[in-house]
Amino acid sequence: MSTTTKPASQPGKIKQTHDRAHDVLRSDGHPEDASGAPQIIAVGRMSKLHRRDEAELAVLIHDGFQHLGLGTELYRRLIAVARDEKLRRLRSTVLSENHEMLAICQKLGFRLHADMEDGTIRAELDL
């Protein structure tokens, strides 16, 4: 599956590559790259937990492409893959100060559990 989209506030094309474990978004001619070469701007990853019907989700979005809905879209796509794979639960570990990621998790139905020892929030979604 491959698509091309262009966020309204960013120049160049964004291309997506996808497999059953992760999504990678690339931008042609990112303004911070003088060479004009395609740059990875976002990565979403789903890692199945060994011998369990659960997986860990994570996304990383380049600073210049945050707040455009890419993290939410990557999570939605990975959740769909997890459902196709018949997984029972997804989880993410989020730093407590990462309010944007916590908002994405809440919007998508994850339950949030604070871990006071290490300052993280465990987000879980039952499928």
- How high is the pLDDT of residue 43? 85
pLDDT tens for 41-56 read 788 889 888 888 999 9
Instruction: Please state the length of the chain.
Output: 127
pLDDT tens digits for range 71-89: 998 899 899 989 998 999 9
d(CA 93, CA 123): 6
Question: Which pLDDT score is estimated for 82?
Answer: 92
Q: Find the mean pLDDT for residues 2-26.
A: 46
Contact (Cβ atoms closer than 8 angstroms) between residue 57 and residue 22: no
- The CA distances from residue 126 to 24, 37, 54, 59, in Å, are 25, 40, 9, 19
Backbone angles phi, psi at 97, to 5 degrees: -85, 0
Tell me, what amino acid is at 65? Answer: F
Distance separating alpha carbons of residues 64 and 39, to the nearest angstrom:
12
